[in-house]
Amino acid sequence: MTNTERDQRGDRAGRQERPGPEEPSEQKSPVRPGQDESKPAEQDEALRAREPRDWAWRVLDTPIGPLLLAATREGLALVAFHSDERVVRRSLTRLRLAFGREPLPEIPHLTTAADELARYFDSGLRAFTVPLDWSLSAGFNERVLRELAAHVPYGTVVGYQDLADRVGEPGAARAVGAAMGSNPLPVVVPCHRVVASDGGIGGFGGGLDTKRHLLALEGVLPQPLF
């Protein structure tokens, strides 16, 4: 979904769906968190600088659409929303750069992640145990995402400002919104649990319908009637 489509959907949903001035809508990057799409050559060079590592991938069908999963021997490294053929092709190109080699057929952490996500969507799993590979995140974004993963459990929510306070950066609510958009591990690292201070659900790189679905699954929002 394009930014324009998200903006149009947000207008139809009403102003309460929008984050406040200090809480910008999250814009999801397909693979590389924090990347500036206007400088692809520089991004690719940064990816190439990483140490080569084994990795594997698969696409998992879920109630919110196909998710591309990628894992290394360290843990789950990527969850990408709306993984149609175009997204998969682009994601795999960049993952080859990030990990420096061709993918393997399988890696144990990939199987664990797929099994746990399937159980999560069946309402049978409340906490993920698959190890996480944070190599596609860094700096402030990684600090915020680690805090989110560790201390905002299933069925709860946190505000952008609250999360900024938790990492010792009380003036960084806007940066927290950017960190959520950079999240390479959505669902497992639950950026859908970060909401606006005015009571709205805030933005979401995977689309507001996806965010509502995940919050309803966890009991934060009522299940839709249709």
Per-residue pLDDT for 160 more than 80?
Answer: yes
- Answer whether residue 226 shows pLDDT above 60: no
Residue 200 banded pLDDT, cuts 50, 70, 90: confident
* Spatial distance between the Cα atoms of 148 and 129, rounded to a whole number of angstroms: 15
pLDDT above 70 covers a percentage of the chain that reads 77
User: Alpha-carbon torsion 14, 189, 141, 49, what sign?
Assistant: negative
Segment 155-166 mean pLDDT: 96
pLDDT of residue 225: 52
Which of these ranges, 12-16, 39-43, 74-78, 194-198, has the smallest mean pLDDT?
12-16
Exposure letters 31-70 (e unless 16+ CB within 10 A, then b): bbbbbeeeeeeebbeebeeeeeeebbbbbbebebbbbbbb
Share above pLDDT 90 across residues of the chain, in percent, rounded to a whole number? 70
User: Exactly one of 60, 148, 191, 215 is catalytic; which is it?
Assistant: 191
Helix (H/G/I), strand (E/B), else coil: 129: coil
Q: Is 114 a catalytic residue?
A: no
pLDDT of residue 59: 98
**CA separation for the pair 50, 58 (Å, rounded):** 22
Q: Would you state the pLDDT for residue 34?
A: 34
Give the pLDDT mean for 203-225.
89
For residue 111, pLDDT beyond 80:
yes
Q: What mean pLDDT comes out for the span 94-117?
A: 97
Q: Report the SS3 class of residue 58.
A: strand
Whole-model pTM: value is 0.80
Q: Alpha carbon 103 to chain centroid distance?
A: 22
Q: What per-residue confidence (pLDDT) applies to 123?
A: 87
Mean pLDDT computed over 14-33: 42
Rounded Cα distance between 116 and 121, Å, is 9
How high does pLDDT run on average in the chain?
A: 83
Task: Quote the pLDDT of residue 224.
Answer: 65
